[in-house]
Amino acid sequence: MLPRMADAPLLAVDGPSLIYRAFFALPDSITDSDGHPVNALLGMANLILQAVEQHEPRAVVLCWGAEAAVYRVELLPEYHADRPEVPEDLARQLEWAGAFFGAFGWHSLVHDTLEADDLLGSLATVEVEAGGRALLFTGDRDMFQCVNDRVAVLWPGGGRTGPELVDERGVRKRYGIGPELVPDFIALRGDPSDSIPGGRGIGEKTAKELLLNYGTLEGAMANAVRERPRVQAALRDQAEELRAFKEIATLVHVPVERPPDEPTRWAAAAAAARERGMNRLAERLEGKADGGAAQES
């Protein structure tokens, strides 16, 4: 086993986000020996392996949750309502994911009524409280609210260079506000991916200006009279809606234990990949296993 670097981060992975991305990025002609597509598992494995190779985490935890948290749907019935049914070929791979990635030494954390986002945020909290660092691998912008000097988001889509690391400066560059204001920003601007409408007539630029001028969503509503009529009307007439949108966008803390150190099991991962017909991935993993054995000897 390779020696772990000091202060190695915990890598917490948004399972639904990455497996959906992989499923639609790779062709379903990638199959196992029974002809079942394994494109989502292969693509997700490659994404996580990029992060593992670049950041050498002390452990990898995959987070899985409900499609839509119960309390969020109660606050906004249309929350996630526009999302299509899970394709059958993806549903099958979701069932296999826990065992497949478990062979890599990557553990799964599951919640029935809250979302994967809430688990990622909770893992980040316990990691920081224990003096550690966390990397949150996700394509969900909600997770930017967790970023601080000990927590960063890994944003997929970097191609060969791997996921983009988004720190506090990165959040401010994207939105012009600090991570702590992300829920306020989402409440005002809305989030089409979650079917959160936001304030009527309030776009990204106006949301940023309101928060920079007044500090918070509540501050903006308290100073609504200072704004032009369209914005003033949204802040005044939608006050309770906007508060609900912020609550929806704010992560819920889940009691979780800090995961122990767990290196990636290259040889076992290679065997799991070969069992699913992923021969090129298996060869890559076997090379990692052989390299690790050579360094130990």
Average pLDDT on 89-117 reads 97
Query: What pLDDT is recorded for position 290?
Result: 81
- Is the pLDDT assigned to residue 26 strictly greater than 90? yes
Region 267-286: what's the mean pLDDT? 97
Q: Cα–Cα distance between 254 and 115 in angstroms, integer?
A: 10
Q: How many CB atoms lie within 10 A of CB 296?
A: 9
Q: How far apart are CA 199 and CA 264, in angstroms?
A: 45
Contact 151, 134 (CB under 8 A): yes
Which of these, 268, 294, 263, 269, lies nearest to 4 by C-alpha position? 263
Q: Write phi, then psi, for 218 (nearest 5 degrees).
A: -65, -40
For the CA atoms of 179, 45, 100, 288, the dihedral, rounded to the nearest 10 degrees, stands at -120
Q: Is 195 left (phi over 0), alpha (psi -120 to 50) or beta?
A: left
Residue 136: C-alpha distances to residues 14, 15, 226 (Å): 7, 11, 38
pTM of the model: 0.93
CA distance 128 to 147: 11
Identical fold at 10-174+252-281 and 176-249?
A: no
Distance CA 289, CA 269 (A): 9
Distances (CA, A) of 78 to 70, 116, 185: 12, 19, 19
Among candidate residues 251, 250, 180, 263, the one with its CA nearest the CA of residue 10: 263
pLDDT of residue 162: 85
- Report phi then psi at 12, rounded to 5: -105, 125
Residues paired with residue 59 on neighbouring β-strands, in sequence order: 10
Q: Which CATH code is given to the segment(s) 176-249?
A: 1.10.150.20
Model pLDDT, residue 25 = 96
Domain with residues 10-174+252-281, CATH architecture = 3-Layer(aba) Sandwich (3.40)
Amino acid (1-letter code) at residue 88: E
* Domain coordinates in residue numbering, the chain: 10-174+252-281, 176-249
The per-residue pLDDT for range 191-249, each reduced to its tens digit, is 998 999 999 999 999 999 999 999 999 999 999 999 999 999 999 999 999 999 999 99
Q: What is the DSSP string of 124-159?
A: HHHHHHTT--EEEE-S-GGGGGG-BTTEEEEES--G
